[in-house]
Amino acid sequence: MNWMKMLDAIKPAGLVYAHCDIPCGIYDPHTAQMAAQTVLRMSKLIQEKKSDAHAVARFAAVKEEHAEICKHEVRVIWGDYFKPENLQKFPLLHDTVWKIMKAASKARQESDVTSAEQLVDAVNAFAEIFWASKNVKTCKAKPYPTEKEIVLPVF
């Protein structure tokens, strides 16, 4: 029996989740942006399909799931990537993250398109700060049916 199996028999390893406390150095706000866009799209679909209870329930579930994905992705970047020196250069960082957390929570609680649009705007502001911290230029595009802009890096 090898020593790892013996150790596991004595004290089994617990389940762990991470992204990424190694740190891996792989960070990108795109997942948060896609999640915010999804929240907006689901909010719009809920308004359009109010009479279809089954569809509304499905849209609401997806909206809530993606609001939480958005919050998670922003928390990881904010907590693991940004350093104190970033706060000096980007003094609105903490306020931007706070706005995202509040907007995502409100978007989960309601099906208000305005709340979802505020979430998209806050996440885009976060993406601009993120890419600026890496000295990467950005552009804005409207590739999705939400008709809201998304901030993209220009490589």
pTM score: 0.84
The string of pLDDT tens digits covering residues 121-140 is: 999 999 999 999 999 999 99
Kindly write down the DSSP assignment for every residue of 34-50, as one continuous string. HHHHHHHHHHHHHHHTT
Instruction: Check whether 2 has a pLDDT greater than 80.
Output: no
* CATH, range 28-153: 1.20.120.400
Q: What residue ranges do the domains of the chain occupy?
A: 28-153
DSSP 8-state class, residue 108: H
Q: What pLDDT is recorded for position 78?
A: 95
Q: Which residues contact 50 (CB under 8 A, 6 or more apart)?
A: 56
Q: What pLDDT is recorded for position 101?
A: 98
Contact between 74 and 44 (Cβ < 8 Å): no
How many Cβ atoms from other residues are within 10 Å of residue 69's Cβ? 18
The string of pLDDT tens digits covering residues 25-45 is: 789 999 999 999 999 999 999
The string of pLDDT tens digits covering residues 95-131 is: 999 999 999 999 999 988 999 999 999 999 999 999 9
